[in-house]
Amino acid sequence: MIRGVRGAATVDENNHDMLVDAAEQLLKEMISLNKIEAEDVCSIFISVTEDLDAAFPAKAIRKIEGWSYVPVICMKEIPVPGSLEKCVRIMMHVNTEVPQKDIQHVYQGKAVSLRPDLQKQQN
């Protein structure tokens, strides 16, 4: 069965290293919490808010050993007025038998405001 694992993080500024590092930290936590192996990943969608264009955050996945063949795509978020700024969002599609309610979604930095209801499950 394919499940979606979500994550989001924010950066302080539109900076290449900050953007790639934030995406890498987010991906690593999503992988660790959910015990995900690269071979079980169908694809990863990464979106950024319109104020981020200093780097492709997908570069982060290539920094993780064994993840070179995972299909990844970057895209822009819909610029909804008043929405969270400088935000990277990840949707990882994973083959797993883990029940949906047990998937650990990860929100870092100011992105915790996106889904405060899911923060309890990370404790």
pLDDT at 93 over 90: yes
Q: Would you state the structure tokens that stand for residue 53, as one six-digit string?
A: 């264009």
> Using one digit for the tens of pLDDT, what is the confidence trace for 11-34?
999 999 999 999 999 999 999 999
Q: What is the pLDDT of residue 116?
A: 78
**Does 72 or 123 have the greater pLDDT score?**
72
Return the H-helix or E-strand segment holding 88.
strand 87-95
User: How many residues appear in the chain?
Assistant: 123
For the chain, the first-to-last Cα distance in angstroms comes to 26
Active site residues: 6, 62, 74, 77, 89, 107, 115
Q: What is the pLDDT of residue 123?
A: 43
> Using one digit for the tens of pLDDT, what is the confidence trace for 94-109?
999 999 999 999 999 9
Model confidence, pTM: 0.92
Domain of residue 64, residue span: 2-122
Domains in the chain: how many in total? Answer: 1
Where residue 17 sits, what CATH number does that domain have? 3.30.1330.40
